[in-house]
Amino acid sequence: MRGGVPTATMSGVRRSTRRLLGELDALTHRERMVALARRARELAATGELPEILADLRGGEAYHRFLAVTAAGIVGDRAAGRAALDDPQPTTGRSP
């Protein structure tokens, strides 16, 4: 983990997803959330966000948290609903 972001290798993920994670890696939490919001909007505008969200949802808990956060920022309700069943309380529905 560097900069608070898990750095475990996510096999089979797109280069754009790895690039996003790399951009967020060295930032503080606050800076990371601001950068995630900006990038989520940019990626939604280019149509790349759904694939990146899919990659992130297949990752560890922190990556799934980033996915649901980015989905919420751009108003992707389907991705938000998909996260409700995540076993991680900070990502999905708490028991």
pLDDT at 82: 75
Q: What is the pTM of this model?
A: 0.77
* Residue of 25 and 84 predicted with greater confidence: 25
Between CA 83 and CA 86 the distance in angstroms is: 5
Domain residue spans of the chain: 15-83
CA-wise closest residue to 83 among 50, 48, 62, 57 = 57
* Residue of 85 and 4 predicted with greater confidence: 85
Over range 19-36, report the average pLDDT: 96
CB of 24 closer than 8 Å to CB of 36: yes
Q: Please say if the pLDDT value at position 20 is more than 90.
A: yes
Digit-coded pLDDT (tens) for 35-92: 999 999 999 999 999 999 999 988 888 998 999 999 999 999 888 777 777 776 665 5
Interaxial angle between packed helices 29-46 and 61-74, expressed in degrees from 0 to 180 and rounded to the nearest 10:
60
Residue 2 DSSP one-character state: B
Query: Would you state the structure tokens that stand for residue 12, as one six-digit string?
Result: 């089979």
Half-sphere exposure of 79 (CA within 13 A, CB side): 25
* Residue of 18 and 90 predicted with greater confidence: 18
CB of 92 closer than 8 Å to CB of 83: yes
pLDDT at 80: 75
